[in-house]
Amino acid sequence: MSSYRKYDVRKRDPDPKSAVLLVIDMQNYFYSMAKPILPAIKATIDLCREQSMRVIFTRHRHKSPDDYGMLYEWWDGDLIMDGTVEAELIPQLGPTDSDLVVEKNTYSAFTGTNLEQSLSEMGAKEVIVTGVMTNLCCETTAREAFVRGFRVFFSTDATATSSAELHDATLKNMAYGFAYLVDCKRLQDAFSKSQLEEE
């Protein structure tokens, strides 16, 4: 049993009417890390689109030393530069014309972006977090969403990072203090239940 399970005690279903799906940094740069979760993230996107939920993609990129921040030092200069193939979103996931793409240059999708304003304009009260890396951009964005008053749902099978240990550590933190954990099956069951209740 995964060690995060003992912290996964709070159960709640997302509300399709007030939730927005965040697809964090599914870019070519992260393809080898993201490849194992492509089926789960595609299934999650499809499930949310079937509920007419909005989908927001984030794209991490740097344009000049002015926007490097601490990342240049921390990662020894290995940054995702704008205009490169590595900076582009993985083609098979979208986005579609109706999706929003938020460009960012640090771990948080809220810092220096219009994400919070866009969520507010969409009437969002909840976010479902998917993408890469579980313990960096996904976790930081989820924490920031929580402290900004959004109800957070964090995917266990549509997020990925460089090791199972780091992935598991984030899931513990999320379940303990910030987010309801979900996976494709839990989302599918929740949305099916929601449809039955409406009928």
pLDDT in tens, 110-146: 999 999 999 999 999 999 999 999 999 999 999 999 9
Delimit the domains of the chain by residue range: 15-198
* Segments of the chain with pLDDT less than 50: none
CA distance 125 to 80: 31
CA distance 103 to 85: 15
pLDDT at residue 199, as a whole number = 60
Residue 79: the pLDDT is 97
Q: Count Cα neighbours of 6 within 13 Å in the Cβ-side half-sphere.
A: 3
pTM equals: 0.96
pLDDT number for residue 22? 98
Q: What is the pLDDT of residue 145?
A: 98
Is there a contact between 126 and 22 (Cβ–Cβ < 8 Å)? no
Q: What strand order describes the sheet that includes 151-160? A: 100-104, 54-60, 19-24, 126-132, 151-160, 180-182
Rounded CA gap, 179 and 161, in Å?
18
* Cα distance between residue 44 and residue 39, in whole Å: 9
Query: CATH second-level architecture of 15-198?
Result: 3-Layer(aba) Sandwich (3.40)
Q: What is the pLDDT of residue 47?
A: 96
